[in-house]
Amino acid sequence: MNAKKLTFPKILTLLLVGFLVVGAVYGVVRYLVLLPEGVGNDVATLRRVLWEVIPALVVLLVMYGVALTLYFNRIRSSITRAARAIERAATEGKDPQIGGEWAPLDSAVETLAKTVNESVKSRENAIALDARRKAEEGIARDMESALAATSLPCVELDFSGAGGAARSSLIAADLFDGFYLGRRTLCFMTADIWGTGFAAARFAARVKELFRDAAHSSDTLGEAVLRLNGALLANNPDSLALTGFFAVFMPATGELRYVNAGAHPPLLVGKERTFLRVQPGCPLGLYEAPELTEEYLIFKPGRCLVTYTNGAVEARNAAGEAFGYDRLFDAVKEGWERSLGAECIVSAVTDAVRGFAGDAPLKDDVSVYALYYPNGIQTELSPKTSELERLRDTILDWLKDDPRKNKIFLACEEIFTNIVNHSGATSIRLNCQVEGNSFVVRFTDDGEPFNPLQVRPEGGYYTSNYAEGGMGMAIIRQIAGEIYYRTQENRNVLTIRFPVIKVN
């Protein structure tokens, strides 16, 4: 038996058992000794032996009980004193001091209290940290949405600019922006933030604000970008940086000025598809004097410029395959061929990236900005006859010196009026452009599907008589060289090609 396990109650119990065994042996021996002496009969002999042994055993049992009672009473009183001391210490805000042979209990209680307090504090810190993380994530998501909402599309008759984004599971805070410098000069950018989370979203908001201020207060684009870099170095507590592409487009001269700060080269799509040649440049927010070059070119009509962050080409599907540049070119080309403006091109890119990734989460944000500069003009018309004046101004501005301008306008007026009165359209897009010696007008509406080229002269939208003020499809055919109809994305697209002598 291990001596360390012998306690006072165990020792008492062993002694009691020993005395019981000794008493029993003594009784047996005494019985056997008295029996030959002939002291009475056997019953009398046994009764005599029991009266000798039993009183001694009873005394032993009483002593055993008294000893155990005193022992446990002492323990109980000690525990009671310890409990009262702890309770008193808790009430008075002091450490309990029990002392005496129960001092180890004092230390154990103190250790337990420290452990409990540390556990509670650790749990509270974890809960607070998780709540803070969730709050910061919500704020960062709201900041991302707000950043996108402040970049409204810039739409003119002869060009348009728009941006869009596909957000990743992380808060990467890549951004785009487009705004006017003056009445018609477009300034735009895309930037890839080096970081994630709340700090990245806050940094992105500051970048957008600082660049707008710098662009409006600088004489050149290069000066504006250098001012942005200096401002970021002066107030950048999280030590973040960015790569970006910054540009200014002046449609009056067709001049495009741009500065590349370490971003991917933009795409140029029109009759050809290629990259815009740019200097590599240096990221912003790292160096006081970054190597940056302001470049320029004459941006000819019939082109589209798309700038993007690396999340576009690096997006991967479930099989681990990257989206790549070829798919990016195809998406831009598809949006360009629709001839529906910069927003359609941006949507074509972001939709293509999301569709390619499928169920695989995006690892990085995708930010895109497109400058759409068609060889012509486009505008949105409300489905109201009051828009005929805008339609007239648009057509006659192009055909100011052509003798057939009034007939061409009357044909366009007939088409527009029939769409307004009969199709139930809620939006109508007008697109005008020059192709060779032809003036091409395209009407796109979201009304009831209807092909005017298949209608008989006695029925359909275009049946009014020329003498009654309308022209009818038969007369429109005589004025127009060619007419095409198709449906695209649940929209009617009617294209009319007019041979002309001179277009402004």
List pLDDT tens digits, range 2-55: 455 667 677 777 777 777 777 777 777 777 776 666 555 677 777 777 777 778
Tokens encoding 442? 């395209």
**Range of lowest pLDDT (49-53, 392-396, 489-493):** 49-53
Whether residue 381 is predicted with pLDDT greater than 70 in this model: the reply is: yes
DSSP 164-185: EEE--SS----EEEEEEETTTE
What's the whole-number average pLDDT of the chain?
A: 80
pLDDT category at 352 given cuts 50, 70, 90 is: very high
Q: Which carries the bigger pLDDT value, residue 251 or residue 130?
A: 251
pLDDT at 458 > cutoff 50: no
Taking 90 as the threshold, does the pLDDT of residue 259 lie above it?
Answer: yes
If you average pLDDT over residues 176-182, what whole number do you get? 91
In contact, 278 and 265? CB cutoff 8 Å: yes
Phi, psi torsion values for 320, nearest 5 degrees: 85, 5
Question: Under 8 Å CB-to-CB from 348, ≥6 apart: which residues?
Answer: 331, 332, 334, 335, 338
Structure confidence at residue 5 (pLDDT): 61
More confident residue, 6 or 105: 6
Residue 496 pLDDT > 60: yes
pLDDT confidence of residue 219: 93
**pLDDT tens digits along 119-143:** 777 776 777 666 666 665 566 566 6
Token pair listed for 321:
């395959």
Q: Which of 151-160, 217-226, 292-301 comes out lowest in average pLDDT?
A: 151-160
Name the band, by pLDDT with cuts 50, 70 and 90, for residue 144: low
**What strands, in cross-sheet order, belong to the sheet with 491-499?**
376-381, 428-435, 438-445, 491-499, 482-488
The pTM of the full predicted model, rounded to 2 decimals, is 0.57
CA dist., res. 142 & res. 147, Å (int): 9
Hey, which residues does 491 pair with through a beta bridge?
Answer: 488
Residue 204 three-state SS: helix
Q: What does the alpha-carbon distance between residue 34 and residue 28 come to, in Å, rounded to a whole number?
A: 10
Range of lowest pLDDT (125-129, 201-205, 406-410): 125-129
As a whole number, mean pLDDT of residues 160-165 equals 90
Residue 442 backbone phi and psi in degrees, to 5: -125, 125
- In angstroms, the CA 435 to CA 317 distance is 40
**Residue of 483 and 197 predicted with greater confidence:** 483
Where is pLDDT greater, at 198 or 145? 198
Contact predicate 357/311, CB 8 Å: no
Q: Shortest CA distance to 161 belongs to which of 401, 445, 371, 391?
A: 371
Longest CA–CA span in the chain (Å) reads 164
Please report the pLDDT score of residue 282 as a whole number. 94
Task: Report helix, strand or coil for 501.
Answer: coil
Mean pLDDT, residues 90-102: 54
C-alpha pair distances (Å), 483 with each of 81, 191, 234, 406, 412: 105, 44, 61, 18, 12
On whether the CB atoms of residues 394 and 377 are closer than 8 A, the answer is: yes
Higher pLDDT, 468 or 225: 225
pLDDT interval class at 78 (50, 70, 90): low
The crossing angle, in degrees rounded to 10, of helices 324-337 and 342-357 is 140
What is the reported pLDDT for 293?
94
Start-to-end CA span in the chain (Å)? 115
Nearest to 242 by CA among 266, 208, 279: 208
User: In the prediction, which pLDDT does 459 show?
Assistant: 46
Residue 368 phi, psi (nearest 5):
-135, 140
The fraction of the chain above a pLDDT of 70, given in percent, is: 77
Averaged pLDDT, 446-466: 63
In 98-157, where does DSSP find H-type helix?
A: 103-149
Position with higher pLDDT, 201 vs 117: 201
Side chain identity at 281, as an amino acid letter?
G
pLDDT (0 to 100) of residue 118: 75
Among residues 316, 399, 406, which one has the least CA distance to residue 363?
A: 316
Which one has a higher pLDDT value, 487 or 460? Answer: 487
The region, left, alpha or beta by phi > 0 then psi within -120 to 50, assigned to residue 161 is beta
428 class by beta-carbon count within 10 Å (0-12 exposed, 13-18 middle, 19+ buried): buried
Q: Is the pLDDT of residue 470 over 60?
A: no
Residue 339 has pLDDT above 60, yes or no: no
What's the pLDDT score for residue 467?
A: 35
d(CA 475, CA 61): 132
**pLDDT number for residue 435:** 63
Mean pLDDT on 253-278: 91
pLDDT at 461 over 60: no
The residues, ordered by sequence, that sit 6+ positions from 371 with a Cβ below 8 Å of its Cβ are 159, 160, 161, 186, 188, 247, 249, 256, 299, 304, 305, 306, 342
> Is residue 202 over pLDDT 70?
yes
Q: Is 204 buried (19+), middle (13-18) or exposed (0-12) by CB count in 10 A?
A: buried
Strands 160-166 and 175-181: unpaired
Q: Does pLDDT of 368 surpass 90? A: yes
Three-state DSSP class for residue 451: coil
How much is the pLDDT for 53?
74
